[in-house]
Chains A and B, each alone.
Chain A
Amino acid sequence: MFKKNYKLLAMFLTIMLLVAGLSGCGQSSNEAATAEVKDSLVVATTYDAKSLDPHATNDVASSNVMQQIYENLVTLDENNQVIPQLAEKFEKLDDKTYKFYLRKGVKFHNGEELKASDVKFTFERALAKGGSIKHIVGDIDPNGFEIVDDYTIIIRTKVPSTAFLPSLIHVGGGSILNEKAVKEAGDDYGMNPVGTGPFKFVSWAKGDKIVLKRNEDYYGEKPKFSELVIRAIPEATNRTIELESGGVDIAYSITPNDVSRVEENPDLKLLRKIDNSTTYLGFNCEKAPFDDERVRQAISYALDTESIVKSVFRGVGGVAIGPVAPNVNYYNANLGKPDYDVEKAKKLLAEAGYKDGFKTVLWTNDKKERIDMATIIQNQLKQIGIEVEIQVLEWSAYLEGLKQKQQDMFIVGWTCQTPDPDMALYGPFHSSMKGNNNFTFFGDEKVDELIEKGRLLEDSKERQEVYYEIQKLIREKSPWVFLNNGEQVVGVRKNVKGFTPSPFGYHKLYNVYFEDQQ
C-alpha cells in the first residue's frame, strides 16, 4: 500500500514539476540581451489593444500601437497645424474638394508601393465598415474619390467642412491601409496590420504584449532602436514598480498616488501634459427641474470645482473652464475659472421656484475618481438644499441609460480626438445629436447656428470669434458643469530622451532614443 502510494505521489509531483519547469526554459534570453546594448524600448500601457485594424476600434490602447505602425495623408506639427505626411502636398480646390499629391516610393510593410488606389480603398472601407470612426470620416462623400494618377487623388466632402483636414490626422480615421494586405488577411487583418510607418508588426501575445520592429525601408528618419515592446499592465502600482526596477523604460498613466514616488526617484523623470479630455457634470435639460437654465446655473455656482479637482486628483489635470480643452484650437482662455458663489446660487434657485431645493439622482460609472467627485458634489449641493442620491452604474448600462434619457444628473467625460474644436462641440452640443453623444439633450438655436457656421469658416480671426462665442454661450446656458481636464502623466527612465506626451492620449514612440545612443 505504502509503496504504491508513494510512487503515485512521486509521479504526480514529477509531472507537475515538469510542466511548470519546462515553461521556464528558453524565454529568458531577451532579458539578458537588453541589458548590454539598449536596442529595445519597453513601454507599459494600461490596457491591451483591442484590434490593430484602424477601422475596427477607436480606443486609446489600440491607437497607441497603431500610431507607430501607420501613417496618414497629413499630420500635425507642434503648433497644431496640419502638415503633409504621406501626401507630399495638398490643395483645397474648392469648399468641398481636396487634392492630395502622394509621396513617391513609399513602401508598405508588405513591400507594396503606396498608390492612390490604396488611399481610395482605405477611405471607402472606412465609410463602409468603420462604425467606430464614422464621426471622424463621416463628412467624406462616398462617391467623391477621383484618382488622377498613381500619385494624385481628389477627395470630396459631402458638405463644406473646415474640420475635415484636421480630422485626417486621427489614427483610426486617417491611417492609410494597403488594399492587398487587407484583402489577403480578411477577418484576421486586425491581428496582422500593415502600414507605412517607422515600425512593423511582429507579434501579439493577447493580454500581455505587442512586439514591433524597426521598418528598415522607412523613407524618413529611422528610429534609433530596433525593437519596440508594448506591454499591458493594468495594475497601476505595478506599472510604477516595473518602471522603478527597470523592467520598462516608459510607463503611461502614473496615478496621483504614485506621482511623488516617481518624482523623488533620481532614476526616473515624470512628464506631464494636459490632454483633450473633459470630465463634466451633465444635466438632463429636457427634464424638470433641469429644463430651467437658472437651476443649472445655480448648481454651477454652488460647486467649488477647483477644490473638487484638487482633492480628487491631487494636482493631476486641471480645472476645466469650458467645453474646449486647452490644447484644442480656439480654446477660449478668457472664460476664466468658474465662479463659486453660494449666495448667488440660492438666489437663482429661488427665482426658478425651488427655494427649498429638491431631490435628485446623480449617476456615475464605477471609476473611483468620478465616485469621489460625486460624493463631494453631493455634499456641496446640500448647502443650497439640493438632496442628491448617488447611483453607481456599470459602464455599458450607464451609456444605455443616458441614451434613453433616464438620467437627472450624471458625470462623464468627452475627448476631442482632433485638434479642431468642431469635434469638441458638434457631438455633445448640437441639437441633432441628442441621445447620440449629446447626453444632456441640450438644444439651443443660437448654439446650433454658430456650430454650423464654425465648421464652414476657413481658419481665420472670424472663425476664432465664432468659437469663442460658442464657448461663452455654453458656459452661460450650463448644460454641463465643467469639472476637470485630464492629464497625461508619463513616467520614463532617466536615460530615455525625446519623448513628448501627446494631448490625444496616444504617443509617438519613434522619436525616442536612449541617452547613450545620441
Chain B
Amino acid sequence: MLKYVSRRVLLLIPVLIGVAFIVFTLLYLTPGDPARMVLGEQAPQEAVDELREEMGLNDPFFVQFGRYVYKATIKHDLGRSYITKRPVTQELLNVFPTTLKLASLSMVIAVIIGIPFGIISAIKQYSVFDSVVMVFALIGISMPVFWLGLLLILFFAVKLGWLPSSGFYSFKHMILPALTLGAQSIAIITRMTRSSMLEVIRQDYIRTVRAKGQKERLVILRHALGNALIPVITIAGIQFGILLGGAVLTEVIFSVPGVGRLMVEAIKMRDYPIVQGGVLYIAIAFSVVNLLVDLLYAYVDPRIRAQYR
C-alpha cells in the first residue's frame, strides 16, 4: 500500500510540470499585456515598456518558463501577484478555506440527498417516486448554474427575505451558494446510486440472500449497498475535485471570495503568477482527491485491496 501511495505521489511531479508548461504556454500566447493591465489604459507607453522590462516579460519564452520552474521547485516560490504584490501562495491560501467550506457543504448536501434518493429510486424502479426523482435529476444536470443561482436568490432572498444573497460570512450565507453548487452533484450522485443499485440487486448473491429469508431492508442495506457504493464514491470524488477547483459561476453570482473568483479576476487582469499558481493548485487538489478516492476504494472493496499488496 505504501509503495502504491508513494508511486502515486511521485507521479504528481511530471503531471504538475506538464500542467505548468501548458498554462505557461497558453498565457504566453494570450493577447494582452500584463504591464498595461497593471498600469491602466491611460498610462503612457514608456511607462508600460519600462514595467515590461522590469517584469521580465521581454525575455524569450524558455527563459521565462525556466525561471518559473526553477523558482517554484528549488525555492518554493510561485512569485508575487502583479496586482497586489503579495506572494501567490498567500493569495491562494487566503481564499482556499472559503472554497473548501463551500465545496464540503455542497458535497454533504449532495451525498445526504443523492444517496437515499438513488436507493429508493432503484428499489421502486418505474414508480411515480422514481420518475419524479429522475426528472429532477435531469433538471439538476441540465440547468445552468447562474440561472439556478438567480432563481434561488429571487425566491429566498428577495421574496421571502430568509437568506442573504451575497457574501460569505455566516452559515446562513453559505446555504444558497452551496445549494446552487450542489445541485449538479445531487443529480449526478442520485443517478449513479440508482443505476449502480439496480445492477447490484439483480446479482445472484442478492437472490441467494433473499432466498434465505433475509428481511428486505437488510438485504438492501447490508448486502447490496456496500457494493453499490463503490462507483458512487468515484463519482463523488471527481465531483469534489471539481468543486474544489473553484466553482466560478457560483462564486461570482454570490460574491463568494473563493478560488474560482480569484482566478477569474486574475485572468481578466492578466495577473499571470496568480493564474499559474491557481491552476497548479487545482491540479494538486484534483490529484490528491483522486488519490484519496482510490484509497477509499481499496478500503471498501477487498478485491481491489488485494491488487495493491
Residue with the highest number of chain A CB atoms closer than 10 Å, among B46, B84, B168, B265 = B84
Residue with the highest number of chain B CB atoms closer than 10 Å, among A6, A206, A403 = A206
Evaluate contact between A23 and B108: CB separation under 8 angstroms.
no
Q: Is residue A120 contacting chain B, with contact meaning CB distance below 8 A?
A: no
Q: Is residue B289 contacting chain A, with contact meaning CB distance below 8 A?
A: no
A400 to B255 alpha-carbon distance, docked (Å)? 31
Distance (whole angstroms) from the CB of A13 to the closest CB of chain B: 6
In residues 13-38 of chain A, which contact B (Cβ within 8 Å)? 13, 16-17, 19-21, 23-24, 27-28, 31
A245: chain B residues within 8 A (beta carbon): 157-158, 161, 164-165
Among the 9-residue stretches B12-20, B30-38, B131-139, the one with 4 or more Cβ atoms under 8 Å from chain A is B30-38
A2 to B209 alpha-carbon distance, docked (Å)? 14
A58: chain B residues within 8 A (beta carbon): 39-40, 42-43
Evaluate contact between A437 and B48: CB separation under 8 angstroms.
no
A396 to B91 alpha-carbon distance, docked (Å)? 24
A190: chain B residues within 8 A (beta carbon): 84-85
Could you tell me how many residues of chain A have their Cβ less than 8 Å away from some Cβ of chain B? 68
A241: chain B residues within 8 A (beta carbon): 153, 157-158, 165-166
Query: In this complex, what residue of A is CB-closest to B50?
Result: A131
B150: chain A residues within 8 A (beta carbon): 237
B296: chain A residues within 8 A (beta carbon): 8
Partner of A242, one of B35, B84, B166, B226: B166
A234 to B265 alpha-carbon distance, docked (Å)? 11
Q: Is residue B60 contacting chain A, with contact meaning CB distance below 8 A?
A: no
In residues 433-450 of chain A, which contact B (Cβ within 8 Å)? 435-437
Q: Is residue A191 contacting chain B, with contact meaning CB distance below 8 A?
A: yes
B36: chain A residues within 8 A (beta carbon): 396, 399-400
Known A187-B80, A206-B95, A396-B270; judge A437-B85 contact (CB<8 A). no
Distance (whole angstroms) from the CB of A29 to the closest CB of chain B: 9
The contact string, 1 if C-beta is below 8 Å from chain B, for chain A 136-156, is 001000000000000000000
Known A23-B97, A48-B265; judge A233-B50 contact (CB<8 A). no
Q: Is residue A217 contacting chain B, with contact meaning CB distance below 8 A?
A: no
A20 to B296 alpha-carbon distance, docked (Å)? 21
Evaluate contact between B95 and A247: CB separation under 8 angstroms.
no
Evaluate contact between B85 and A242: CB separation under 8 angstroms.
no
Evaluate contact between B225 and A2: CB separation under 8 angstroms.
yes
Q: Is residue A351 contacting chain B, with contact meaning CB distance below 8 A?
A: no
Partner of A8, one of B84, B169, B178, B299: B299
Among the 9-residue stretches B2-10, B61-69, B99-107, the one with 4 or more Cβ atoms under 8 Å from chain A is B99-107
A394 to B30 alpha-carbon distance, docked (Å)? 10
Q: Is residue A93 contacting chain B, with contact meaning CB distance below 8 A?
A: no
A59: chain B residues within 8 A (beta carbon): 40
Q: Is residue A5 contacting chain B, with contact meaning CB distance below 8 A?
A: yes
Q: Is residue B285 contacting chain A, with contact meaning CB distance below 8 A?
A: no
Known A17-B108, A19-B100, A242-B166; judge A206-B85 contact (CB<8 A). no
A415 to B270 alpha-carbon distance, docked (Å)? 22
B254: chain A residues within 8 A (beta carbon): 238
A19 to B107 alpha-carbon distance, docked (Å)? 11
Residue with the highest number of chain A CB atoms closer than 10 Å, among B86, B165, B172, B270 = B165
Q: Is residue B213 contacting chain A, with contact meaning CB distance below 8 A?
A: no
Q: Is residue A91 contacting chain B, with contact meaning CB distance below 8 A?
A: no
A34 to B272 alpha-carbon distance, docked (Å)? 39
The contact string, 1 if C-beta is below 8 Å from chain A, for chain B 94-121, is 1101001100110110011000000000
Evaluate contact between B51 and A131: CB separation under 8 angstroms.
yes
Q: Is residue A244 contacting chain B, with contact meaning CB distance below 8 A?
A: yes
A304 to B105 alpha-carbon distance, docked (Å)? 53
A189 to B84 alpha-carbon distance, docked (Å)? 9
B165: chain A residues within 8 A (beta carbon): 238, 241-242, 245, 247
Evaluate contact between B32 and A400: CB separation under 8 angstroms.
yes
Evaluate contact between B32 and A51: CB separation under 8 angstroms.
no
Evaluate contact between A28 and B83: CB separation under 8 angstroms.
no
Could you give 13 example pairs across A and B, Cβ below 8 Å? A2-B218, A8-B299, A19-B101, A20-B174, A21-B171, A56-B38, A59-B40, A132-B47, A206-B95, A208-B168, A233-B166, A247-B165, A400-B33
- 5 further A-B pairs in the complex, CB-CB below 8 A; given A131-B44, A190-B84: A23-B101, A28-B172, A207-B95, A232-B255, A397-B31
